[in-house]
């Protein structure tokens, strides 16, 4: 994997161990690993909101919070990050694996 | 199903109409979509209340006949007990970002799950399509439920 050469550490779940090591190039690599070839403006809107919210509140935002506070419609979130939007987006944003059930 | 094979499709049946009867199925359905699992939810018997527009946000916790509530049945039967327990539980759920029923149904629908009402129950309760929230995809019979569940793990709640 390309991310192995980027000199960053991942946790046991494959999420970035320290979110401070994140950068946009890493996000593009992680997205490719998740099957997203190109990150669009909408992808970046999700990623940037997630990072800002995590840094401010210490928790990875839920899908509900992404909609209510981040203004990202749930349908769109699922089409941007197919097959597991909250986990995929968190991983690409360099955040830990979401812990909640919703 | 082979050992350790990822679950690809689930079919969740919600048959109870109390708050604690409806939420587990909704959380399982939403969680399945969050994992990329194809999901359908079949509402039957009193579970239909979760998709009937005028009832869906008025579901109550059953405080009688539920030993895990840890209150004596006679106390649980006092006026206002169910409303009190319901409001307490809703507050706790809100803290966990678990939405009210109408918003949860919309969220699960937007997540791509299919929602169905059980035809036999719809007829038994004299309901029509207009009684249901717009996210409901169709009213189907049991045969169709099994057809649509082909290849799915069926979960009864």
Q: Is the pLDDT of residue A5 over 80?
A: no
How far separated are the first and last CA of chain B, in Å rounded?
22
Between B140 and B72, the higher pLDDT residue: B140
CB contact under 8 A, A100 and B107: no
To probe the interface with A, which of B23, B29, B34 has the most A CB atoms within 10 Å? Answer: B34
Average pLDDT score, chain A: 93
As for the ipTM of the complex, it is 0.88
Q: Average pLDDT, stretch A36-57? A: 96
Residue A14 in this model has a pLDDT that exceeds 70: yes
pLDDT digits (tens, 9 = 90+) for A23-35: 999 999 999 999 9
Q: What pLDDT is recorded for position B33? A: 97
A19/A10 Cα distance (integer angstroms): 10
The pLDDT tens digits of the residues spanning A85-96 come to 999 999 999 999
In the CATH scheme, what architecture does the domain B9-59+100-156 have? 3-Layer(aba) Sandwich (3.40)
Q: Report pLDDT digits (tens) over B50-108.
A: 999 999 999 999 888 888 888 888 888 888 989 999 999 999 999 888 999 999 999 99
Tell me which of A60-74, B1-15, B22-36 is least confident: B1-15
Q: How many CB atoms lie within 10 A of CB A35?
A: 10
Q: Does A2 score more than 60 pLDDT?
A: no
| B 97-116 near A (Cβ less than 8 A) | 97-99, 103, 107, 110-112
- B50-69 in b/e form (b: 16+ CB < 10 A) is bbbeeebeebbbbbeeeeeb
Domains of chain A (ranges, CATH numbers)? 14-92 (1.10.10)
């Amino acid at each position: 994997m390309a991310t192995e050469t980027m000199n960053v550490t991942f946790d046991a779940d494959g999420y970035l161990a320290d979110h401070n090591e994140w950068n946009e190039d890493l996000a593009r690599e992680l997205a490719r690993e998740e099957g997203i070839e190109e990150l669009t403006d909408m992808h970046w809107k999700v990623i940037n909101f997630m990072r800002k919210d995590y840094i401010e509140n210490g928790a990875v935002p839920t899908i509900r919070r992404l909609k209510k506070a981040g203004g990202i419609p749930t349908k769109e979130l699922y089409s941007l990050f197919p097959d597991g939007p909250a986990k995929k987006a968190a991983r690409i944003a360099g955040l830990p694996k979401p812990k909640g059930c919703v | 199903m082979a050992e350790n094979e990822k679950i690809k499709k689930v079919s969740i049946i919600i048959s109870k109409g109390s708050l604690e009867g409806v939420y587990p199925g909704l959380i399982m359905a939403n969680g399945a979509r969050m994992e990329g699992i194809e999901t359908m939810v079949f509402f039957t018997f009193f579970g239909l209340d979760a998709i009937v527009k005028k009832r869906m946000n008025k579901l109550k916790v059953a405080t009688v006949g539920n030993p895990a509530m840890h209150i004596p049945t006679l106390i649980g039967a006092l006026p206002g007990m169910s409303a009190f327990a319901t409001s307490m539980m809703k507050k706790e759920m809100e803290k966990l970002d678990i939405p009210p029923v109408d918003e949860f149904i919309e969220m699960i629908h937007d997540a791509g799950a299919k929602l169905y009402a059980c035809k036999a129950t719809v007829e038994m309760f004299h309901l029509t399509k207009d009684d249901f929230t717009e996210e409901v995809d169709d009213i189907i019979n049991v045969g169709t439920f099994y057809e649509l569940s082909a290849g799915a793990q069926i979960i009864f709640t």
